[in-house]
Structure 1
Amino acid sequence: MAWLSSPVSAINTWRSPVLIIQGDDDRNVHFSESVDLIRRLEKKGVPYESLMIVDDTHHWMNFNNAVTVYAAAADFFVRKFMR
């Protein structure tokens, strides 16, 4: 079940641009897992962008970081999917 819940279990089906956002103090998803996902996306040629949030967790406990994350996600969707 853990494997099926992992994004890398379906990496061969990925085609759309991906935005990866992670806090560097994330205790739910290890930083190395995002690095691994990025490497797999690069290997497949899937376009991606990444944003690492310094000194925050999986849940964006700092309000300013939450605003940054949501603005980055909105900007990404507009740039990549609203053509």
Structure 2
Amino acid sequence: MEHPDHPFTELFEQLGLASDPASIKRFIERHAPLPEDIPLHEAPCWNEGQAEFLREALDEDADWAEVVDHLDTSLRKS
């Protein structure tokens, strides 16, 4: 099954966050680095709905999984 591509900005919109490049950069700078032992959806920066969306996207290998992986990688960089 082919997954549609979602831009990084669209993921931030889906999460209810500001999605312009400067806001995304600030969000990542503010919340990175996320420790390796904390799953992305358990990071303290998410509300319950956001955490559930991120967990389901990865657990179900949903069409959002690739861009959620990108977010995970971005938040783990120091």
TM-score by length of 1: 0.33
Structure number having the greater strand percentage:
1
Q: Computing the radius of gyration over CA atoms, which structure comes out larger, 1 or 2?
A: 1
Higher relative contact order (CA 8 A, sep 6+): 2
Q: Which has the higher helix share?
A: 2
TM-score w.r.t. the length of structure 2 is 0.34
